[in-house]
Structure formats: structure tokens, C-alpha cells
Structure 1
Amino acid sequence: MSEIRIDPITGRHVIFSMERDNRPSDLWNVKAEECFHCKFEYMADCPFCLGNEDMTPPEIDRISNGENWDIRIVPNKYPALDQMEASKVKRIKTSSLFQKYSGIGTHEVIVESSKHNHNYFNMDKEHFTRFISAVLKRYKEIIKNDSIDFVSFFKNYQKLAGASLFHPHSQMIGLGSVPDFIRYEIEGSKKYYSNSKTCPYCDILRIELKKRERLVYENNEFAVISPFAPKYKYELWVLPKAHRPYFQEEQNETELSDALYRAFHMLYKTLGDFPFNLYLHGLPKSMKDSNPYYHYHFEINPRISGNAGFEIGTGIYINSIFPEEATKTLIENYSLNIERKG
């Protein structure tokens, strides 16, 4: 029996059909693929490995660990946007129907470790915390730029999630405009606020922390939840418990890194070394009026099942596990692992 849920923020529809996992398939199996790169801490042809610094543009920042660096931030050698001054941005109006403007902004790479085979599942918590601190520090610097309105932090892990290089890295793109999906979230939040006079994210947290049906993990400052209508199997959100629309105002980076670290390790105990997309949604600088009803958050999207014609053609996703069941599985598998270690 299928069930259709509606995302309370965006209004996006998600179909839940448990029978989908029973479909026969003779296509490539991700889990069966051998990871060649996992064997090596250093690769001579990798631009992000320790000792190959001349293969990247000059670094913007680094975090050192003794004589060597731990984390580097460099300009993307193949940026999605042109690095230009705001004064040079020109909106070109060719007609009332067709309009375009120059693509300018910033595009940077965070090299998350000097070790080629590091990932979120095998790096220690101290290193992960330093990485999150570096992300927050750089985010604050980029968003100060007068020509930047929104900063997109994201990570693609493994080829199925869009990664082109194996070495652990994530990216930041600074935009002078507001992305469409951020607008949809803000519009959905504003609509909810106009009726209830409360932030929908705060209300979601209040319900999840009370009922605990979809609460995966919490610490003093953050909660990890399975959203009510997730696009992907085992999708997780990480949100500050206090109402905070701007990521650049976050001061609890240790608690944030703890929540993200625990979320990834709980997923790992259930899914193994899985492909995923991690991204941050925060309030753009120009949308100050959205303060009362928007709430910054991270989303983790496991890419263990691909989007096909129906999802791409309609925008409606199909999920084969309810978030309540996913929550139970994540908690039980993680607890079982702790018991075994004990």
C-alpha cells in the first residue's frame, strides 16, 4: 500500500512505496565495486594530496598539524562562476522573454584532509571538528563580500553523487542571487508563518523532540531528524534547536560537528560506505524580512537509489522506506555496534 506525504516547508510530494525495493535488477551493484583509491594515503597524480600543492591554485587558507597541513582551502581550478568584481556584473536584456546576466561569484574547494583515503567514516572526531570550524570560518569571510548574497556549501561523495575526484573535499560557491530552491523554502516558511505566527522549522523540532518518532540524535544545541517527507532513503536533516536563520552567526561549532559526525556514523552502520550529497541551506543576506520564519539547516541525501524518469519528469520522488522505520533502523544498528564494542 502506498502513501503520499507532503513536505511541510516546500509542499513537495513524496510517494512511499515499500514494494519498490523488491524490483529485479541486473545492473551494476555499487556495493560490489572495489575501491582502488581506499588503499592509499597518497596518489602522485592527485592535486589534493600532501606534497602536490603546486597542482592547485595558490591556497586561500590552511589549517596546519605540526609541520604539515591538515586542511586547505583553494580556488576551484575549474570554477562554475567567473571571478569578477560586482561592478562588472551586467544583466543583458535581449527581449521581454529572453534575459540573461553574467555568471560571477566565488567558487572554492575545501580539501578536507591531506590523506587521500580519508572520509567522514574513518577520520577521527577531532579532525572532523577542525574541518567544520574551517567551513564556518570561510563561510563568514565569503558572505561579507558586498557582491555575495548566498553561499552554497556542499559535498558530493562518490561518483553516483556527482564527485569527480576521490580525495576528500567539499566546495563553496558564493552567489550574487538567491537560488530557486531557497526561495521555495522561504516562501513555504512564510506561508506557514502567516497562519501560525511561528517558524515551521521550530515547530517541526518541537514535535520531533517531543514525539521522538523521527529523532535520530540530539545534543545540547542540535537535533538530527529524519524529515517527514524525505526525498531519499535515510535522508537526514541537522538543525540548531534555537531559531537561527543565518549560518554565519553560529557559535556552537563543536556541537554542530558532533551532530554531523554522529549522523554520518549512524548512517554508515546501516548503509556502509555509501554515496551522498551534503549541503547547507541558510538565509540569504538580502532576505532580512525572512528572519522570523526561516531556519538554517544541513541536509544529508544518501544516493543509494537513483532518480528516474518519473522523479525527473514530475518532481515527485518515490521513497521505499518510511522515515519512522529508517529512524528505528539507524538507532538500533548504531546501538548494536556500541554493544558489540562494549
Structure 2
Amino acid sequence: MPSLPPLLSGFAPIWVLTAVGYLVGRSGLLGPQADMVLNRFVFHVAMPAALFVMIARTPLDRFANASMLAFAAGTAVAAGLGLLAAHRLFDRALPERAIGGMAAGYVNSANLGIPVAMQVLGDASFVAPVVLFQILLVTPAVLTVLDSGRAGRRALLTLPLRNPVLLAVAIGAAVSAVTTATGWHLPDEVERSCQLLGGAGVPTALVALGMSLHHRPAAAGPARLAEVGVAVAVKTLIQPLAAFAVGAFLLHLPPHQLLTVVLFSALPTAQNVFTYAREYGRGTALARDSVLWSTLVSMATLSAVSWALGPA
């Protein structure tokens, strides 16, 4: 039986697991609240375990380089435009603006970035600094905005203790710093347990995403379609173009580094955005539709980046 083209094969698990979630939701097999329960499992259990072990075993200086500067610039431009569009064009409240910015600038770096990078670049080492950048800088900023709307400003000081994602990030960063300074490593039993638990996060998040499609309105209004269209356009076109401009004209990156930066910037919106939106009940439809449509559109844009910037 013929296999899928290599680049498209990286997208196959996303669509398959999302379709499984849709069928499970449509059948009612797990009950009417199952997508919420699965999403809370991802947010409170699986994702913190995965983030903790990933950060704990990665030196924190991995994202301090010129390539990451270009990627961060593209992210800042895209997220800023997403925030601005949510505010000026669609008159959203601050938490929805945060989700709009994240939908426009937060890339699917792990489960899709790895197979795409291996196919186009032959090397997935840039995944680690991208993940660190998004987890250590972007995610805390967005979750702080979302949590402030839920708990009030006075509770922000205790946010890292109440938010399992930020708590995992903080502990993982502390362990990474200790490892760098002393050479001490996590016990194998702890690391393997966290890896096993964290491995459930991505597939469960995709199943929950698919289940949410069963409950979506039959037809979205023009404003919702326009809002999703803007987020997807910024994510799949503006972000890689901004990263290319900074990398090529300001930082003068070598061709392979430039391809790496632009390729990762062109990745679609991560399903984590939907997980955060669903957990806080803000901008859920925008996050869900942005993940789906940007993943579809990015199949074309990633191929275009590979063709335009790849070796002849």
C-alpha cells in the first residue's frame, strides 16, 4: 500500500486523533462532559508532567542564539497583531485578546515540529529552544492574563502555586539550573514516570479537540469567520514572513538557519491554545477553529517554505 508523502505524514496523526475525538463525541460514548474532563486531565496532569521533565533535562541557555532571536521576533509580531485584531477589529475583552494573540503566534513545535523538521531539515534540534521559549516566556504571560480575569489581581502573586502548568515550568527550570550547576540529574524512575504520564497529553488533547467539534454551532457568523481568518492568516503567513525579514535582513542568518527559523515559524497553531482556552472558558471557539484551519493551511505554506528556502 503506498504511503503518504513524507511531509504530509506528519499531519496524519493530528487529523486521525481529531477525527476519533469527533466520532467519540458524536456517539456519546463518554458522556456529555467528557471533552471538559479530558481537557482538565491534560491541563492539570499530563501537560505539567511533560513540561516538567522536558525543561528539567534541557539547559536553559539553549534558546540564547541568533536563530531564536529571529523566531522570537516573528512570534512577537504575530502575537501582537493577533492581540490588536481582537481588540480593534472584534472588540474582545482582555482574556479573549490573549487567546487571539496566542492563536496567531503560538506554534505546534513538538508533535508536528519534530516530524516536519526531520523531513525537511534532517535535524529536529531546534525544537528544544522553541519549546523552551514558548513555555518559559509566552505561556506564563498568557496564563497570567487569563488567570487575572478569573481570580482577581491580588491573586496573581500566588498564580504559580495555583496553576499546574506554571508550577511545572518553575520546578523544571529550578531542576535544570541545579543540573547545570552540580551535574545532578533526576532519578530515572521519576523521569520515566513523568514521560509516561506526559505522553498522554498530546493524544488526549487532540481527542478533546475533536469532541468539541460535535458541540460547535452549525454555522458560524461572519464575525467569527473573519476572526478565525485573521488569526490563521497571521499565523501561517505573517509570522514566517516576519521571521524571514528579521533573520535575512537584520541578522543575516546562514541559509540553513534561515530555513529552520522560517519553517518553525510557519507551523500551525498548537493544540495547547485550545487546552488553555477550554480550561478558562475564554475564546474557545476561536482557539479550536484556529488550530484546525491553520493546520490545514500550513500543509501548503510549509511546502512553500521548503521549496523557496531549501537547498536547490
TM over 0.5: no
TM-score normalized by structure 2? 0.25
Higher relative contact order (CA 8 A, sep 6+): 2
Q: In proportion to residue count, which structure has more strand?
A: 1
